[in-house]
Structure 1
Amino acid sequence: MQVGSKNQSPCAQLDSLRDDYEEVRKEHEILLQLHMSTVKERDQFYSELQEIQRTSTPRPNWTKCESVVAGGPDRWHMLAEGKNSDQLVDVLLEEIGEMLLQEKDFFPGLGYGESVPPFLRVDGVVENKKPTKKDVVNLLKDAWKERLAEEQKEKFSDFFFSFLERRFGPADAMAWAYTVFENIKLFHSNEIMSQFYAVLMEKMSESVYVKHKETISQLLKEMTNADSQNEGLLTMEQFSTVLRSIFPFKKEEKIQELMEAAGWQLSSNADWLSYQSLFTEL
């Protein structure tokens, strides 16, 4: 904006004021446009926020599951302890799936298509043997014992069906194949079932399972050796020392994660850890 001079004539001063006015008017128009644009964006964001709030999923009330799950509130609290919402969904799906599985008397045969695993190739219907979850786990343990004792190893899926034929006879092998398969496909949270399913469906190498079992056995052996009093208890220092000896290349934060997974927090006031409970298979 120009400043008028005392030596300017009235006409010159008037022209200067007109120029100043025009400059201010243009700036005002620009600011007005910016204001209108900002208001428009604000209104748009507010509408989007309302839509998000309207359609967003509310936090689930998991206590409603207490009356649905077998065993009532006590069992649900045990199942839900320490789990986030995503994990609780898996738990609930397994509980519902288990009830539905027990209600089925037969499974529909999947036919003989190439996409069907060889141990499930059959037409018609096959009987649901309805074992308990514990029965299936024990059966899988026995299958692994035989598998690891084999000298000449056949394909794992072929071994699985042969094992069922030896255990239950050729007439019932297919029914047990479907029954076991449906159970191990359902129970993702059970380590024995989920690992067997992964190996059976070639989602995980059999050698990975073998290495995992060897590591678990070595851990138990080292912890037992460190337990000089044979009481099933270890101090935090003893426990961390064993972990570092078994996993020498793991960083300190990874060792700490393993300790926390075992139930030992840095803030814990506990002096001892009952390590044998870590090796109890459900």
Structure 2
Amino acid sequence: MENIHEENLLTKYIYNDDLYSETDEHGIDIITLRYTLFQCRKQLLIAIQSLFDTEFVYGKVQLREDFDKLKSECDTLKNDYDLLKADFDDLIDHCKILVRQTNEIFAERNTYYSEWEYAKNLLTPRPDWDKCFHLVINWSKLSTGKTSDELVDVVINEITHGNTDGYIDKNFQGRFNMRRRITGLLIKEIWEHRFESKSNVKFMDYVSTYLSKRFDNQDRAMEISTNLEDTCSRYRNNYEINLFWKILTGQMEENIYHHEMKEFARIFQSFVKMSSKPLWTILWSDLSNVLRELYPEWSKERISSLIQAAQLDIHQASKDKNDFQFMFLFMEDDEGHIGNFLLTIRQFLHLDKMVYVDKIKDLLIGHPLVSMNQFKQVVQMVDPYISKEELQRYVSWVFDSKKMVFDDNKEIKSRDFEEVLLRLECCSCFMH
């Protein structure tokens, strides 16, 4: 059927009526000639079609040169892969060896530790606890079934009458070194009385007067002051102790402490307003909203960090519960140490302060000596909403030093650029 269709198709374009109507005068077989011509044209069309198909197929054929190049690159990649795989297998073997050796070391360490514990219990001389029989009431009952460490606690409890909270005795003698706990308690006590008294007396004078009243006389107050100086020097890595000492010696402005406490109180009051029943409880979503309302310029990363710090303070690994008691965020120990949430707030406030100081620094660069008027103008440019009282407080702190340049009228004229920056960093300054 295909051949018949193809012949009809060819006949459509080849057939000519004149060929069948004419006769050959020479007697040539016209029918045979026609058929032969028809077959030749048919073969010609088939050859042309084959030529077209061949050209079309050849267009998709890759050159041998390209094939050889790709094959060479493929072989190179296979070799590199084999080398890397061999190296990887070697690393796996080494890793397994290290893991096995580590486990052996851990096992050996545990064995040595067990032997050390056994030798310690066996060789350490034991005190004769029966000597306490005549000194401690009901010693037989209190000491039954207790270890040496627990017996020490029993003796301490009997000596202190159950009051193990650290406190400073009025009969304390300054010849002993004060520990960090006692120092923290004393500093916390001083700040509490300072806040309650609302006194405007210079902080150093106030502390001196308070110690005299606290320890009955001036001599003991001097002994405590001497110990306090030594202790603050030894524990200067503690933030609360270091801040107290720098404020006491005039290195930092006292308002730094008060501003921080006011900021914590502002956060606490915002939480109280958002709290619901039961009392002192807010939702996690409210925590985020309150923080964004209090600090709209803070980034989402800061808010997330504060929420994570809050989770650590309340010992809640996730926010499965919808609410929590925010009182745990404002707890502090007897030395005045605050939790992770308030520590993070303190860090972010310090970062904002340093940005504030850097803006003032950028405008003062190029002036070796900074006058009071220049300083005021720069602060007002950086912080246009600052009040006159706050600006005057900045000026009073920054330009309160003996190392100044005076004019003929003995008025403050200018101050060294570096000293201005150092004093400003120790000032309670912030964007208003």
Shorter-chain TM-score category?
Answer: 0.3 to 0.5
The TM-score with structure 1 as length reference comes to: 0.47
**For the pair shown, which has the larger CA radius of gyration, 1 or 2?**
2
The TM-score with structure 2 as length reference comes to: 0.32
